[in-house]
A = this chain, B = another copy of it.
Amino acid sequence: MGEATIRDVARRAEVSVASVSRALNGLDNVRAETRERVIKAANELGYVPHAGARSLSLARAHAIGVVLPDLHGEFFSECVRGMDREASRRGYLLLLSNMHDDSDQAAVALRAMRGRVDGLLVMAPHIAPETLEHAIPPALPSVMLNSHADLPGRPALRFDNRAGAEAMVEHLVANGYRHIVHIAGPEGNLDAAQRAEGYLAVCARHALPPRILAGDFNEEAGEAAARTILASNTLTDAVFAANDMMAIGCLHTLRSAGTGVPEKIAVAGFDDVPLARYLSLSTVRVNIAEMGARAVGRLIDLLEGKDLSRDSETFTPELVVRATTAPRTAPKDGAAHA
C-alpha cells in the first residue's frame, strides 16, 4: 500500500540509507557506481522522497504560507498568480488559507501553518495590528501585505492608496469637476480608509465640499449610491468610488437613469479590473501580481538570509485616465445634477 521509503531503496540497492540519501541529494562523497545503483533502485521502486519527513529533519519545508482575506475576482487571482510565479521559480510551494474576515479563524489558520511552512505572507487589512501580532507564531518570518501598521521585524509591502486617490481626485479637479462625491469602502478596511483620506485631502486643498456615501466594495453599493445621488438635491458632477466594482454599479445606474457619463456626471474607480477597460472607466491601477511576487521574493530572501534589511516597501499606483472622466464641457460651474 504505502509508497516506497528510503529504506526500501537502500535494501534494493544493497547499501545503507545514508548512502541513498547522499546519492539522491547529489552529495559528492559517493562513488559513481554506488550512485548509479541507488538511482536505478529508486527508479525501479518509483521512489519519491517524503517531503514531510525531509522537512522535519532539515527544519526546512520549502513552502510558504499565504493567508488572504476574502478577495474578489481578479484581485485574488492576480495576487496568487504573482506569488506562485515567484515561488515556483525559486522552488517553493504555496500553502493557501483564506481567512474569512474573522480573527479567531485567522488565528487557527495561522497556527495550522506551524511546521509546514518556513514563512508567512499575510494580508489582513481588516484585522487590528495587536490581534495580528498575537496570532502569528513569533518565530515564523513573515511579510505583511497591505496591513495596518508595521509589525516589528516583519517587512510590510503596501501600495499607496492615499496617493492613488489623491491623483485621481486631482485629475477630476483639473478636468473641471467641483462637486465630487466619494463612495467609500467597508468600515474598518484599511485600503478603503486610505482612499477616503486621499479624497478628503484633495477636497480640503481646493476648498471643495466633501461628501461621502457609505459602500462595501460591491457593485450593489455603487448602484445604491447612484440612486442616492439622483434622488438628492445636492449638486454632484463627479463620483469617485473606492473601487471599480462600485464605480461600475454606479455608472450603470446613472446611465440607465438617463444621466450621461461623463457629460452630466463623471465616474472614476480604483483597482483597474479588466472590466474597467471595456467600460472606459477611469481608474487607478495597482499591480497586485507584481506586489505578490515581490512579497514572495522578499520573504524567501529573508528565509535564506539574503535580505537583512527589514524595510517596508510602498508601491505607487498609476492613474489610468479613460473616457468616464473626460474634461468637463458644460459651463465652469453650471448645474450638474440638482
Q: Chain A residues in contact with chain B, CB under 8 A?
A: 1-3, 46, 48-56, 59, 61, 63, 71, 73-77, 80-81, 84-85, 88, 93-98, 100, 109, 111-116, 137-139, 248, 252, 274-275, 278-279
Contacts and interface: CB of A to CB of B under 8 A. Distances in A.
B114 A3 contact: yes
Contacts of A85: 98
Contacts of A137: 3, 46, 48
Nearest to A115: B50
A278 B252 CA distance: 9
A48 B114 contact: yes
Contacts of A100: 88
B74 A81 contact: no
B97 A96 contact: no
Contacts of A275: 274-275, 278
A115 to B, nearest CB: 3
A182 B85 CA distance: 33
A3 B116 CA distance: 13
Given A3-B137, A74-B77, A52 B278 contact: no
A98 B93 contact: no
Nearest to A97: B93
A88 B80 contact: no
